Structure formats: structure tokens, C-alpha cells
Amino acid sequence: MITFMRKPGGQIDEQMTVAKKIRTSDIQTCNVILDYAKKKVEKCVIEGKVVDTDWDRMHTYYSKIYPNIIAQLEKEAGITAKT
């Protein structure tokens, strides 16, 4: 789960959280929710707009930013890495 926060100066900070279950509050507050068990993008809202994107695109993007965390999520979800 990814949440974006805009600072007073306009800078956007990103916060990542890993959870076993998605709660109602997560749906309301998080900007991006990726379900690794289902290999599904549950939510993707950037600056108030729903972004139509697919699993492969989002997975590839966040694998570059958070490689260790994504590798662990893949391992726990039984996802094999693409070569």
C-alpha cells in the first residue's frame, strides 16, 4: 500500500506499508494498493484521479523502487520472478 503526502512546499513524499489484509480505512486513505496474493491492482489514484493501469506495469515500477520488499512479497505469495 502506497500513500502520497504533499508537504507545504509542494514536495510529495511516498510512504509504503505492507499488510496481510486490506482494511476499509486502507481503501479510503491509500493511493496505490497492490494485492500480491491475487496479482491485482486494487486501487491506483494519483492526485485525485483514478489511473487505469495493469498489474505488470505497477509491479515493474515498484520492483525498481522497493526491490527487497517486492522480492519478499513475491516469495510469500509464491510468485516466480520473470527472467
CA-to-CA distance for 40 and 42, rounded, in angstroms? 6
Instruction: List Cβ<8 Å contacts ≥24 apart for 64-72.
Output: 66/16, 69/16, 69/18
- Rg of the Cα atoms in the chain: 13
Over the stretch 22-56, which tens digit does the pLDDT of each residue have? 899 988 999 999 998 889 999 999 888 888 889 99
Task: Look at 83 and 7; give whichever has higher pLDDT.
Answer: 7
**Where along the chain do its domains lie?**
2-77
DSSP state, residue 4: E
Which of the 8 DSSP states describes residue 33?
A: E
Tens digit of each residue's pLDDT (9 = 90 or more) over 61-78: 999 999 999 998 888 877
Q: CA 38 to CA 60: how far, in whole Å? A: 16
Residue 16 has pLDDT above 60, yes or no: yes
With 80 as the cut, is the pLDDT of residue 14 above it?
A: yes
